[in-house]
Amino acid sequence: MTIQTVGIIGAGQMGNGIAHVFATSGFDVRLNDISTEALQSAIERIEKNTARQVAKGQLSEFERDASLTRISTFSDLAELGGCDLIIEAATEEEPLKHRIFADLLPSLQPETILTSNTSSISITRLASRTDRPERFMGFHFMNPVPVMQLVELIRGIATSRETYETLRDTVDRLGKTAASAEDYPAFIVNRILIPMVNEAVYALYEGVGSVAAIDASMKQGANHPMGPLELGDFIGLDTCLAIMNVLYDGLADTKYRPCPLLVKYVEAGWLGRKTGRGFYDYRGNAPVPTR
């Protein structure tokens, strides 16, 4: 099967980035969100990011204009039913994802492939609640999508080889690199990355070092481009906590217990960059550590 029309559910940080890369790679994109404000914001962000690509010589003005015309926005989920491929990029909440797929199923073509951009939730479990588990996969992009090269492909227990091959070919058309992951909690990247963030929060919680000291140590001592607490803020502390809970619940190992301080920050609504405060306060001219 050749993919040409792609539906994307969720116009947030991940959804608009996925729409961006598909549109600039020649795909027709239908972007859906229940919020018209989110859709407008997504288009504005894509316009801004593609303009930056033009300025850097990565796109021509003609290519940019053509890409933007390939994106249509919809608040009605049924409008995505005719797509060849659908990517769910909603919040990392399993009940929400189940509701979205249930609402979508009556509108789908028989051959449509369903995918989820989930960063941690069982693909087999998500697929089992649809009418096409053999045509369902995990399609996990990294953030920020236009910049990051990797896409994790996760097969559920029922995913067909044809579905896998189709998505692998789609990743090639995007100019990105596919990594195949088994359907275990958090897959590959977040199975390794998020516990590191959680351990950095434990180091802060236990007084091993300050926010600035922990981040500087990993940047200058391990050559990481971003400190783990800064990275947690960038990802979103609510997303980090959700992934840690999936790991803790799914693997039943105490090494994946979320740090109580991470829980407190999420309870306070200090989720990182997107809310203006996390382990750093972003409301001024420069980020300031909150501890």
Q: Please identify every residue annotated as catalytic.
A: 119, 140, 152, 190
11: buried, middle or exposed (CB in 10 Å: 19+, 13-18, 0-12)? Answer: buried
Tell me how many degrees the CA angle 279-282-287 measures, rounded to the nearest 5.
75
**Contacts of the segment 249-257: beta carbons below 8 A, 24+ positions apart:** 249/185, 250/122, 250/184, 250/185, 251/185, 255/195, 256/195, 256/198
- CA 160: distance to chain centroid? 23
Q: Which residues pair with 87 in a beta bridge?
A: 8, 115
AA letter at 90: A
Measured CA angle at 48 (ends 11, 29), to 5 deg:
40
Length of the chain: 291
